[in-house]
């Protein structure tokens, strides 16, 4: 049952504005309205860009940016329960996971504050070439300009934090468009940033029609950088449409894990919750597990009961492990993908009375089935029996995606081989590839994106170097 009802205006140029039009935000679990957000269109987005331009005319020094970021981290700590409950209400994320997300957002702001204070160029060793003799050169790291940030529904607080905090650390003003399903956490973060002393225009939040707001962000030359987290279809199209902007994309995955014959004994226990946390709606939720044939019977016998023991139900209940998926369309698509997978359904496979999909385990699906190579983004995991590490690596790579992958083995050479040969932005060893610490360089290759987030890396993306050469 939803307990927080919020009504939120938009932040544009330091003012909280209404537009006369409201977007209702509903709980994916109960369907109840949990809040309303003022709805913006092209006009408010252009106004937000004007405000960002005006703000950047007076740069904020690094120490002030860092102080604001630290204050927001502190406020997130004090408001931890409110933040977690709002995430739970609007995203249907179980409280257990919502609390982790709220805590991680603190970490993201804290690391961004460190980066704001460290932001500096470098010396260029000019006399390393004859032409440079008698000259001194160094680089300045300058903000790229106004950032257009677009975020997805599944981490409505921390992935917004990964946009806003590095942009401020880099000295850029931002126009944020959060996901329409989950705009309330973003607007709460905006409130915390304003309360922390962020001057008008440095952050502007517009909620509303994706194409209308997206078109303005793409077409307005004053927006120097777009940072997008979401699905590949939308992301790559944005990049195509904005060839002269810096476009950073964080996209999906079909996350594989290799379980070798010498995997540690707690492997099934680690992987079971990591395949179903937030009903699989994380870009690095474990989706495809490739199990060595020597290990198959033992692994299946341990994994399936652990999946069946997960508590499925109301996300507001502190005991719940697996809640709803975001909406009916997602549920129908996921059930259709399970039905066409052509494997043995060992657990779940259907919706229960309340419309929740039971955590689903499919053994040996067809390699061409969507669950074997596309992103399910739901509570579904596949188990496939493999005869060698070669085969497991080949199957893990047989997807257009490349965000994170994992291997469980006690053999160092197998682990290092996987680290080299898995075509992914990150490889975890004896840890589920669902693992992410917010300071890590995080991002994908292939269809999964073209950038790295984590405040240190995002700040680099959002700044550019200018070289200064001085004749001595």
**Contact predicate 233/252, CB 8 Å:** no
| Residue 250 is a catalytic residue | yes
- Would you tell me how many other CB atoms lie within 10 Å of the CB of residue 9? 19
Map residue 203 onto helix, strand or coil.
strand
Of the chain, the end-to-end C-alpha distance in Å amounts to 71
Q: Which of 283, 307, 362, 380 binds ligand NAP (CB under 6 A)?
A: 283
Question: Are the CB atoms for 363 and 383 separated by under 8 Å?
Answer: yes
Rule CB under 6 A: say whether 433 interacts with ligand NAP: no
Binding of ligand NAP by 234 (CB under 6 A): yes
Report the alpha-carbon distance of residue 405 to residue 298 in Å, rounded: 22
Quick check: 150 binds ligand NAP (CB under 6 A)? yes
The DSSP code sequence of 130-183 is GGGTTEEEEEEEEE-SEEEEE--SSSTTHHHHHHHHHHHHHT--EEEE--TTS-
Which of 230, 349, 433, 454: binder of ligand NAP (CB under 6 A)? Answer: 230
Q: Which residue is nearest to ligand NAP (CB)?
A: 214
To the nearest 10 degrees (0 to 180), the angle between helices 210-219 and 232-241 is 30
Residue 229 within binding range of ligand NAP, rule CB under 6 A: yes
Residue 81, SS3? Answer: helix
Non-local (6+) Cβ contacts of 118 within 8 A are none
Nearer to ligand NAP by Cβ, of 29 and 153: the residue is 153
With CB under 6 A as the contact rule, the residue among 44, 375, 438, 461 that binds ligand NAP is 375
Which residues, 439 to 458, sit near ligand NAP by CB under 6 A?
A: 444, 449
- The reply on whether position 231 binds ligand NAP by CB under 6 A is yes
Among 154, 270, 386, 428, binds ligand NAP (CB under 6 A): 154
Q: Which is nearer to ligand NAP, 206 or 292 (CB)?
A: 206
By beta-carbon proximity to ligand NAP, the closer residue of 127 and 219 is 219
Angle between helices 158-170 and 184-195 (to 10 degrees): 40
By beta-carbon proximity to ligand NAP, the closer residue of 253 and 409 is 253
- The active-site residue out of 250, 375, 453, 461 is 250
Q: Please, what is the minimum distance in Å from the beta carbon of residue 443 to ligand NAP?
A: 7
Tokens of 56: 């950047």
- In the stretch 24-53, what mask flags binding to ligand NAP with x, by CB under 6 A? ------------------------------
210 binds ligand NAP (CB under 6 A): yes
Q: Is residue 286 a contact residue for ligand NAP (CB under 6 A)?
A: no
Binding flag, residue 402, ligand NAP (CB under 6 A): no
Whichever of 5 and 210 has its CB closer to ligand NAP, that residue is 210
Hey, is 12 helix, strand or coil? strand
283 is catalytic: yes
Asked if 113 interacts with ligand NAP (CB under 6 A), we say: no
Q: In angstroms, rounded to a whole number, what is the distance separating the alpha carbons of residues 407 and 290?
A: 9
Distance CA 344, CA 159 (A): 35
Rounded to whole angstroms, the Cα distance separating 48 from 51 reads 5
Residue 252 within binding range of ligand NAP, rule CB under 6 A: yes
The answer to whether residue 377 forms part of the interface with ligand NAP (CB under 6 A) is yes
Q: Which two tokens stand for residue 117?
A: 């204070």
Distance (Å, rounded) from C-alpha 182 to C-alpha 446?
Answer: 28
Among residues 28, 92, 152, 315, the one that binds ligand NAP under rule CB under 6 A: 152
What is d(CA 186, CA 164) in angstroms, rounded to the nearest whole number? 10
What distance in Å separates the CA atoms of residue 397 and residue 364, rounded to the nearest whole number? 17
CB of 447 to ligand NAP, least distance (A): 10
> Among 146-154, 270-278, 303-311, 416-424, which window interacts with ligand NAP (CB under 6 A)?
146-154
Instruction: Give the Cα separation of 18 and 8 in Å (integer).
Output: 9
From candidates 29, 109, 153, 424, binder to ligand NAP by CB under 6 A: 153
* Residue partners of 265: CB distance under 8 A and separation at least 6: none
Question: How many residues make contact with ligand NAP (CB under 6 A)?
Answer: 29
Active-site residue, selected from the candidate residues 88, 260, 283, 385: 283
**Least distance from C-beta 114 to ligand NAP, angstroms?**
21
Among 15, 43, 118, 211, binds ligand NAP (CB under 6 A): 211
* Sign, CA torsion 99/105/108/112: negative
Contact status: 180 vs ligand NAP (CB under 6 A): yes
Residue ranges binding ligand NAP (CB under 6 A): 150-155, 159, 177-181, 210-211, 214, 229-231, 234, 250-253, 283, 375, 377, 403, 444, 449
Active site (catalytic) residues: 250, 283
């Amino acid at each position: 049952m939803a307990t927080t009802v919020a009504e939120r205006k938009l932040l544009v140029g330091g003012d909280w504005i209404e537009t006369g039009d409201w977007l209702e935000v509903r709980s994916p679990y109960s369907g109840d309205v949990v809040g309303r957000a003022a709805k913006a269109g092209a006009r408010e987005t252009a106004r937000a860009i004007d405000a960002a331009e005006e703000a950047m005319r007076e740069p904020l020094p690094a120490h002030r940016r860092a102080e604001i970021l630290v204050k927001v981290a502190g406020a997130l700590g004090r408001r931890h329960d409110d933040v977690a409950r709002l995430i739970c209400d609007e995203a249907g994320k179980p409280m257990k996971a919502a609390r982790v997300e709220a805590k991680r957002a603190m970490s993201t702001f804290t690391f961004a504050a460190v980066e704001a204070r460290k932001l500096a160029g470098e010396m260029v060793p000019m006399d390393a070439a004859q032409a440079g003799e008698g000259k001194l050169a160094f680089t300045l790291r300058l903000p790229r300009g106004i950032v257009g940030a677009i975020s997805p529904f599944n981490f409505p607080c921390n992935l917004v934090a990964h946009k806003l905090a590095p942009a401020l650390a880099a000295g850029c003003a931002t126009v944020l468009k959060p996901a329409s399903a989950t705009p309330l956490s973003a607007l709460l973060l905006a409130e915390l940033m304003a309360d922390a002393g962020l001057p008008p225009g440095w952050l502007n939040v517009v909620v509303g029609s994706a194409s209308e707001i997206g078109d303005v962000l793409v077409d307005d030359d004053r927006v120097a950088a777009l940072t997008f987290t979401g699905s590949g279809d939308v992301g790559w199209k944005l990049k195509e449409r904005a060839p002269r902007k810096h476009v950073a994309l964080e996209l999906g995955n079909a996350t594989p894990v290799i379980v070798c014959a010498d995997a540690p004994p707690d492997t099934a226990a680690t992987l079971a919750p990591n395949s179903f946390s937030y009903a699989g709606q994380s870009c690095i939720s474990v989706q495809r597990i490739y199990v060595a044939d020597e290990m198959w019977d033992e692994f299946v016998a341990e994994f399936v009961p652990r999946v069946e023991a997960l508590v499925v139900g109301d996300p507001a209940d502190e005991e719940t492990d697996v809640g709803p998926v975001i909406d009916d369309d997602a549920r129908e698509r996921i059930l259709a993908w399970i039905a066409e997978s052509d494997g043995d359904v060992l657990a779940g496979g259907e919706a229960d009375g309340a419309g929740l999909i039971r955590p689903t385990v499919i053994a040996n699906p067809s390699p061409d089935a969507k669950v074997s190579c596309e992103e399910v983004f739901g509570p579904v995991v596949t188990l496939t029996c493999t005869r060698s590490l070669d085969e497991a690596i080949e199957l893990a790579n047989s997807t257009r995606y490349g965000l994170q992958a994992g291997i469980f083995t006690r053999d160092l050479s197998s682990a290092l081989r996987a680290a080299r040969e898995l075509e992914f932005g990150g490889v975890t060893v004896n840890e589920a590839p669902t693992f992410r610490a917010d300071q890590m360089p995080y991002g994908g290759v292939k269809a999964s994106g073209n950038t790295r987030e984590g405040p240190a890396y995002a700040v680099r993306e959002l700044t550019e170097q200018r070289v200064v050469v001085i004749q001595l």
